[in-house]
Amino acid sequence: MNSPTPTLDQTQDDLLERITPTGGERREILDPATGQLVGHAPVHGLDDLEAAVARAAAAQPAWAALGHERRSAVLLEAADAIDASAEALARILSREQGKPLNGPNARFEVGGASGWLRAAAATPLEAEVILDDGDVHAELHYRPIGVVGAIGPWNWPQMITVWQIGPALRMGNTVVVKPSEYTPLSVLALVEVLNTVLPAGVLEIVSGGREVGAALAAHPSIGKVMFTGSTSTGKAIIRSSADTVKRLTLELGGNDAGIVLPDVDPSAIAEGLFWGAFINTGQTCAALKRLYVHDDVYDAVVEALADVARAMPMGVGLDEQNVLGPLQNRQQFEIVDRLVEAAKRAGANVLVGGDPDRDGPGNFYPTTLVEVADHDLGLVQEEQFGPALPIVRYHDVDEAVALANSVDVGLGASVWSSDLVEARRVAARLEAGTVWINAHGAIHPMVPFGGAKQSGYGLEFGVEGLKALGVPQVING
């Protein structure tokens, strides 16, 4: 007699059971949409970190010795393992992080994790002949760093973890992952799936607090730290890493500006503007967080954007119809609420939203559009990291560019126009690591991504991302 096919809940529960600690300290992880228990995460300490680093260091020489071709083959098998567990991973992610299953959310993120891992495995990296003039033959090669520390965020926990570990493993490093305390289950589950394929010790995980992250950044056996998160934490990692002169890739906070030029078709760009700002309910480093709209099209653009915003359903992530979810944690809810309330007191006009149920279940903050006349308001100057978009009217492009460049971060930016030549001229004037035209936040595994100013340094993705996970070595002769 055949065994019954496991249900989605059974496969999800099986994966949660495999990552649930059987001893030691652990803590409850609650669903930010409902407050219900999702599972229990281990609380690892410094001794656990030491053991994980030791295992990764011991496994690294053999992993490096496999060579690029064999390592890539293993990573492709690991991507297959993600695909085989995709629905269970997505449901755990939805329950823990809050993002819905559908839209550019949980299922999208799991698919992105698999896809980026495949891209890291498939990206060629050949030795580069620097000089060959008959007297000197010089080649540039990249060798493994050793053990890489990967410290991830809570907004895209699975996909960003793969952004960190995929190129690191491909280049012959081993990795110790430290997930956010807010979303450890999503990353523990991902690592559990990957480790059904990877050799022992190649990928380790420690699920601890800030002291574990600080110790990882300072650890003498860690050769590089990759970090995605706030600028303030990035600065702390820089300080912690200084004594051991670690290599760093830091993707830090942003406050991305979008500039709408006067020649646009408002209805054609409205949905792109919406998802640029509100993907993952605004909880994205490279989301559109300040929108500057020319006076000639201001009213039409705002009306079209408001129509889109009102139509997008928000609710519990496991409900298939929703495309927006709660803020992942109460602290972030309070930040968004504080910034919007301060803007309202200062006379800003709330067009949509701005009236959360502060006593209801879940960290739901409604999609909010705010007309802002005072550019110095916190809602404009600070990264809100949530579903509240300030909209600023401008009269000439020079003014808009100056306002867009006026903050101390520069992760991304965008220009919206029917004239690509003019859009590119404006884009070249913006102080950001990536400037999109008629889109915002669109990324590709072969296109380098990184920040300017206090949004961090180092590049991820593609050939440049692989190079960043190796030590350059010139062989001369």
What average pLDDT does range 199-216 have in this prediction? 96
Give me the pLDDT at residue 477, please.
Answer: 87
Q: What is the mean pLDDT of residues 254-271?
A: 98
* Cα of 88 vs its chain's centroid, Å: 21
**How far from 56 is each of 75, 187, 218, 220, 458, CA to CA, in Å?**
17, 18, 16, 13, 24
Residue 260 burial by Cβ neighbours in a 10 Å radius (0-12, 13-18, 19+): buried
292-330 exposure pattern, b = at least 16 Cβ within 10 A, e = fewer: bbbeebbeebbebbbebbeebebbbbbeeebbbbbbbbe
Catalytic (active site) residue 285? yes
DSSP per residue, 215-253: HHHH-TT--EEEEES-HHHHHHHHHHHGGGT-EEEEE--
Total Cβ atoms within 10 A of residue 398: 11
Average pLDDT over residues 432-461: 97
* Structure confidence by residue, pLDDT tens digits, 394-417: 999 999 999 999 999 999 999 999
Q: Is the pLDDT at 9 greater than 80, yes or no?
A: no
Tokens representing 269?
């760009």
* C-beta neighbour count of 104 within 10 angstroms: 17
- pLDDT, position 367: 98
Reply yes or no on whether 431 is catalytic: no
Q: Is the pLDDT of residue 11 over 90?
A: no
Q: What is the average pLDDT score of the chain?
A: 96
Task: Give the per-residue pLDDT at 471.
Answer: 97
pTM as predicted: 0.95
Dump pLDDT digits (tens) for 288-321. Answer: 999 999 999 999 999 999 999 999 999 999 999 9
Residue in 251, 383, 431, 460 annotated catalytic: 251
**pLDDT tens digits, one per residue of 230-246:** 999 999 999 999 999 99
The one catalytic residue among 109, 204, 285, 383:
285
> What pLDDT shows up at residue 5?
55
Q: Domains in the chain, start-ordered, CATH in brackets? A: 8-252+455-476 (3.40.605.10), 256-444 (3.40.309.10)
Instruction: Look at strands 147-151 and 224-228 and give their pairing.
Output: parallel
Average confidence (pLDDT) over 189-204: 98
Region 101-111: mean pLDDT is 98
Q: What's the confidence (pLDDT) of residue 360? A: 86
* pLDDT band with cut points at 50, 70 and 90 for residue 1: very low
Q: Which residues contact 477 (CB under 8 A, 6 or more apart)?
A: 137
- Give the pLDDT score at 290: 98
Percent of the chain with pLDDT over 70: 98
CB 193 within 8 Å of CB 161? no
Our measurement of the distance from residue 295's CA atom to the centroid of its chain's CA atoms, rounded to an integer in Å, reads 33
